Each structure stands twice: as C-alpha cells, then as structure tokens.
Structure 1
C-alpha cells in the first residue's frame, strides 16, 4: 500500500466513511456455499452519486439499469451479485431492474436510488429466486463493520479482497473516501475494466463528483491491464452522503476539490495496484513508469504498450531481463518519440539496473538482473528524453496458471 502525505490509511473498507453500512451473504447463485455471492452497501441518507462504465459495446444489463437510475445524480444503496454476469440475456434488463426493486423493498428505499451490478459468467440466465429469498437476510446483516464481507461477496477468480480507505481534512472537517473492488481477469484499459464501489462522507455536488471520478479513473483504472480483454459488465461508482459536514464542494476550481481528487486518486491508485498484482495466475506486479515523453498522452500510450506485451509479461514470469521486448513494445506503440533517446531501467526492492541507453543495450550483470526480477514487484522505468510527459501503468506477468484458470472458467 502506497501512502501519501496528508492522507491517513484507515481500516473498515466501504464502511470507513460515516453513515455507510454493508454486508455480504451466500444466497445460492454460486454452487460453493463457502463463497459469498451477494453484497449490499447502504448509506444512512441519500447521496450524490457518479459512475463510469465499460467501453465494450456489449454491456451487461445491470450497467444499462444503473445508467438510468443515476441520471439524477442520486443513489443510496448498491446491490451486486457474483457468479453470474447477467449479460447477453433477453431478460437481463428486467432482472437487473428487479434486483433494484428487491433491494429497495428490503431497505424501504425507492428502487431508482439503487445501483445494481453483476459479475461472473456471461450468457447464463440469472435466477432471481436466490436473491429474492435472501434479500431480507442481507438487509438485516447490514452493519457499520460489514465492509469486508461485502468486498468478499463480489469476488470471482480474485484470490483476495481489495479494500482501501483514506482519511483527510477538508475545510476543518475530517472526511473519508473508501473503495472496494474486484478484478483479476478480463482486465484491460478503457474504464470501467473491473467492478469498484466507493463511498465517501464528504459533501460534493454530483456533477463535480462525476468530474473527479472520470479524471482520476483515466490515471488509475484506465492504466491497468491483466490480459487485454475489456469486460462487458464493469463499472466504478461512488456515493457521497455529506455526513462529514464539510462545506459542499460545488466547483472544480476550488482547493477543496483538489484535496478531494488527490484522496480519490490515492484510493483508486492503490486498488489499481491490487487488481494488477492479483491478475489471474500472476506472480508479479509490474509497474511501468514513463517520463520524458512529449506529452502525457504519449507517455500513457507507451506505458500501456509495455505492460500489455505478452512477450514481455512472459519474460517477467521467467525472471529474464529480456529488455529487447520492452523496446519492441515501445516501438509498435505508435507513440511520438525518438527511439534513439530511450533509456530503460529495471528496478525492485533488490536494486536497480540500467539495461538500455540511447535505444541500445548496455553491458549489465545477468546475476544482478535475476536478483532484481525475483521480487514480487518489478518497476520498469522508461526515460524518453523528449519532454515533460509522464505516466504510470500497472500489469502482471503471464503464467501457466492464467491459461489453466481460463481454460475451464465456465465448466
């Protein structure tokens, strides 16, 4: 977990901000009774809300319903199931809407104030009976300590829960932003590329909240890739209930907006690293840091090209300092650069090693390289020498286990 000055990392997940309860239960969508498969988050009062959605043309039915529900920028609850994506089904929208109705009835809230999401296998009909029969149980299980159970209930092939919460000061008031996410496979840039649900007790107008979320997502979730597949269902949503008592943030020009945006970045950046590090079958988190690009956009193109290169990802799994694959990925990225200025450094807790200078190889110790690449977190530093543009992207190695996991995912 990376810390930032002025921000305090706190526990509690999505329940860390004031006025949020959460819960997760096993309802029966998933056959394994040991795995929770239905989650709920609820605020004590109506929230300003915002969301971003997958750019895949095939969109899960829950996304279409949530988009409709959030047209007024308001929400108070989230219901989400794992084990079935409710995508590419003729009755999908009706069932996603029914999930909102079920949650609204259990919580005594208008159904249009509910955010709905599903994750799991595509193309299988979602049975509502398990959700109907466990909705009251789920609502009764809601607690101010239930964040971890909710985070557990949204997992699919993930190996661990992904939760981050940060506390900070806004105009003399203590505010908190928290998030829980799932994502291990079918992860590729162009948000939303995973499910993420965020809560905050800060008071912020929904249009300003949307601006903050969209901006931060471009530098975090949109810079993550596990396998090059952009999912059909995924989105990131945030609810702000204002219970911290700070003056309403209603302008992107204010100092308070910048403080809020920085805190949101800390949450989503750490969740991005968790998702990349927990990629299906992954053994290493890869972070590509690009500096000296002609501008930010070109830096992003290069960083993403490196961490999405299957050949490079395989080399990292094999702990092979095959830096030529990095240069190859930079070269076909279509970014604006002078390849003769490129410098590449491999780095980890075991040290740093320059492997390329001025676009050509330099002598280095293979023993030192092997030592560096044995670590679980590898940083690839690319200096371009063309300007001030910089960007960071996150990915993981490509392993035998990735194929094993996805070879029989449905069966």
Structure 2
C-alpha cells in the first residue's frame, strides 16, 4: 500500500510540445495490460541520459550509452520501453535484441537507428521476446499522441501499485516552459539509480553539453537520494529530453539564470517522482526522511544517511512503530566516519530530541518516540556536530509484504 500517494490526475500533466507517446499490449509481460511504450520526439530534440553504475548493466543500458556517445547526450527521435523482461544478464543475444528493437522502431518511423534508445524492466536473466515487442510497435505508433503521459506511466509499471507522473510550468525570459515526467520503481531501489526508469521532457531549447550537466545534477538531487532496499539494479535509467519548441534562445551556459530556472523545475519534477517511488516502495507503510546535518562534507553526511536508511534493523523498527532508536545510533556509528565523536551527535525523531552527549536525552520519553513512530511520515534528523555540510535521503520501512512480493514476484 503506497504511503500518501495517489495516481496522477491526467489533466494536471501538461503536454510538452514536440513529444508524442503511444502505448500498446505486446504480451511481453501479461495479457490484458499495456507493456510497450513508444516516445516520439520532433527533429532537433536533444536527449541526455544518466544510467546505473551496476557493472552487470542490462543490454538496453549498454545500447543507450553507445547511441548517446561519450557525452551521454545527443539527438534522439524515439524511445522504446518494455516491461516484463529486463533484458539483463542476457549476453550477446540480449544486445542483439536491444539493437533489433531500435532498428524496428527506426524503420517504422523513418529515423536512424542510432537515434532510438531502448529501455527494459522486469525479470533479470530472461531473454527478451523481441518478436512480441516488434509486433506491438504498430499499435503503439497508431496510439501516439501528445496527452498520453498518464497512460505511459501505467504502461511502464512492474511491481508499482501506483503510476508516477509529475508536471510543472515556469516562465523563462517571459516565455512559458513546460516540464513533464513519469517514472517507475518500487523495489531494487538504492542510490546511484535503481530498478528505476525515469523519462522527463521539456520544450526548452538547451545546448547538449548543458543538458548533460543538468541531467547529472538533477539525478544527484533526486533519484540518487532514495533507497528502498539497498539493491542497485541493472537497468536504471533517467532520460531528460529537450525538444526546443519554446520560443527561447538556446540555453548555452549552465551558470546562466535561464539554466538555473530550468534546473529548479527539472529537479522539482524529478524529486516528486523519486519520492513517489519511495512512497510506493514494495510493502511500504512508512515514508521516512533521513536528514544529516553538521557534517564535514556532503559525502560524509550522505554516508551516514544511507547507513541509517539501508539498515534492516532500523527499517523493521519503523514498520513495527517500535521506538528502538538505539538502532539508529548504531547505524551512525558504523557508517564509516573513523574520527566521529559520538559525544557531539544529536538525534531527533521529528521534534523529539532522543539522544545527546553520547546517550539518551534526559527529557526523552519512550511514549514520545512511539507517538512519532506511529505516523505514516516520519523525520529522522541527525546532527553530527562536525561542520556545516548536510544531506537528505528518503526511504521507507521494511515489512512482511516486501518479503512476500519478492518471494512471489515470478509466480
């Protein structure tokens, strides 16, 4: 059951000029549900990608990297996305299947295969039924339209219980600019991306190098700040497309005011999508914000935040609404800061001051901790007392249902 997360309102998802999307039932996953999505971009669209750091990355990730080149940004006319099969751990046949997918889309819409990017999500170590994918493309193309973002959000789901989409409009130099995106993910989620697919588009005109930098910064501020279970997937991908249809001068400098405004809008949409993934974490009943302050560096703050957010003992305590908060201090202690002075660490649960000076706060009462732990949304704040750096990570609890979902996933 997702934590305070509702399906997106299709009417609230703004059309991005220069983008059309179609979906179809290809039979790759299960009969009776859409499992194939086709994004079509107008000529001149620039696309930047950020991908998994898992060395066992899936075939579509490898092909995406090849097509985008060293800068991981370039002209792209189409994306093809399937659910039901990750096409990971599939060796040379998997690469061939990913390339055949691109070739089939290219032939169908009349663009170079190099300008098509493939994406897959589902079970690892299974061959992709590329014949079914190719067979579903004509229906997806026939369905392509500008207002299909909500349909696409449903079509890319796997173990998600709620489709995930977000949208924003801003004004740059007096010109309206749109940002809309969708994402999928509920399990195998941890920083450096996860079993997560994210597709965000804007009509702003953006230089390729600037777009690549913005995509990295947006990923780092959103999708790289979430964790459900600590597993880094083989397929995670974030795509940011800029169609250039807005009547603006090309944004050609990362430090420009125009780029800063666009970054804010892209990050806002990406953060809403990333937090939706955590809220819909497999079996999640609690949404938890872990904020670490007073660190020497941001990396140090993230190290501590992830130690807490990944801890099965911490996560199961949250599921049980059990204020066994020494588990949080233990995670802080083993995070890897060798010279940490535990006497300078303060721990807060929402507004409740739990620990200080190396031990329990004198005024802390377990009843206060239990009251906070019973909430569906909880804040953990850790003050290290070492500097001014900070970081925030979003996570969820670990429930019986998580085990059931992943035990039964292939049945």
TM-score normalized with structure 1 length:
0.93
Q: 1:133-163, CA deviations, whole angstroms, 9 ceiling, x for partnerless residues?
A: 2211100101111111111111110111111
Q: Which residue of 1 aligns with 2:88?
A: 87
State whether residues 81 and 154 of structure 1, in contact with CA within 8 Å, keep that contact through their aligned partners in structure 2.
yes
Residue number among 26, 39, 42 corresponding to 1:41 in the alignment: 39
| CA positional deviation for 1:343 | 1.2
| CA positional deviation for 1:42 | 1.4
State whether residues 345 and 354 of structure 1, in contact with CA within 8 Å, keep that contact through their aligned partners in structure 2.
yes
Secondary structure in structure 1 of the residue aligned to 2:274: helix
- 5 Å-filtered alignment, 1:265-276, equals 265-276=267-278
Q: 1:50-79, CA deviations, whole angstroms, 9 ceiling, x for partnerless residues?
A: 101111110110011111111261112211
State whether residues 35 and 82 of structure 2, in contact with CA within 8 Å, keep that contact through their aligned partners in structure 1.
yes
State whether residues 323 and 356 of structure 1, in contact with CA within 8 Å, keep that contact through their aligned partners in structure 2.
no
State whether residues 284 and 378 of structure 1, in contact with CA within 8 Å, keep that contact through their aligned partners in structure 2.
yes
Task: Output the CA distance in 2 between the equivalents of 1:180 and 1:132.
Answer: 23
Secondary structure in structure 2 of the residue aligned to 1:392: strand
State whether residues 24 and 152 of structure 1, in contact with CA within 8 Å, keep that contact through their aligned partners in structure 2.
no
Q: Does 1:63 align with 2:65?
A: no
State whether residues 319 and 374 of structure 1, in contact with CA within 8 Å, keep that contact through their aligned partners in structure 2.
yes
Q: Which residue of 1 aligns with 2:280?
A: 278
| CA positional deviation for 1:346 | 1.2
Distance 1:10 1:215, change over 3 A: farther
State whether residues 15 and 21 of structure 1, in contact with CA within 8 Å, keep that contact through their aligned partners in structure 2.
no
Task: Output the CA distance in 2 between the equivalents of 1:133 and 1:221.
Answer: 33
Q: Which residue of 2 aligns with 1:410?
A: 410
Q: Which residue of 2 aligns with 1:301?
A: 303
| CA positional deviation for 1:388 | 1.1
Q: Which residue of 2 aligns with 1:121?
A: 123
Q: Which runs of 5+ in 1 are unaligned?
A: 1-8
Task: Output the CA distance in 2 between the equivalents of 1:237 and 1:397.
Answer: 28
Q: How many residues align?
A: 398
State whether residues 13 and 148 of structure 1, in contact with CA within 8 Å, keep that contact through their aligned partners in structure 2.
no
Distance 1:50 1:278, change over 3 A: same
| CA positional deviation for 1:199 | 0.7
| CA positional deviation for 1:106 | 2.5
| CA positional deviation for 1:19 | 2.2
State whether residues 23 and 141 of structure 1, in contact with CA within 8 Å, keep that contact through their aligned partners in structure 2.
yes
Greater CA drift, 56-65 or 86-95: 86-95
Secondary structure in structure 2 of the residue aligned to 1:202: coil
Task: Output the CA distance in 1 between the equivalents of 2:233 and 2:150.
Answer: 24
| CA positional deviation for 1:13 | 7.7
State whether residues 14 and 199 of structure 1, in contact with CA within 8 Å, keep that contact through their aligned partners in structure 2.
no
Task: Output the CA distance in 2 between the equivalents of 1:328 and 1:106.
Answer: 57
State whether residues 25 and 38 of structure 1, in contact with CA within 8 Å, keep that contact through their aligned partners in structure 2.
yes
Task: Output the CA distance in 2 between the equivalents of 1:136 and 1:193.
Answer: 27
- 5 Å-filtered alignment, 1:205-220, equals 205-220=207-222
Task: Output the CA distance in 2 between the equivalents of 1:105 and 1:59.
Answer: 27
TM-score normalized with structure 2 length:
0.93
Q: Which residue of 2 aligns with 1:180?
A: 182
Task: Output the CA distance in 1 between the equivalents of 2:159 and 2:395.
Answer: 16
Task: Output the CA distance in 2 between the equivalents of 1:298 and 1:246.
Answer: 40
| CA positional deviation for 1:392 | 0.7
Q: Which residue of 2 aligns with 1:4?
A: none
Q: Does 1:26 align with 2:25?
A: yes
Greater CA drift, 311-320 or 172-181: 172-181
Greater CA drift, 369-378 or 259-268: 369-378
| CA positional deviation for 1:97 | 0.9
| CA positional deviation for 1:232 | 0.6
Q: Which runs of 5+ in 2 are unaligned?
A: 1-7
Q: Which residue of 2 aligns with 1:379?
A: 379
Q: Which residue of 2 aligns with 1:317?
A: 319
Secondary structure in structure 1 of the residue aligned to 2:42: strand
Residue number among 185, 194, 199 corresponding to 1:197 in the alignment: 199
Q: Which residue of 2 aligns with 1:353?
A: 352
| CA positional deviation for 1:307 | 0.7
State whether residues 39 and 154 of structure 1, in contact with CA within 8 Å, keep that contact through their aligned partners in structure 2.
yes
Task: Output the CA distance in 1 between the equivalents of 2:23 and 2:378.
Answer: 34
State whether residues 76 and 239 of structure 1, in contact with CA within 8 Å, keep that contact through their aligned partners in structure 2.
no
| CA positional deviation for 1:410 | 2.1
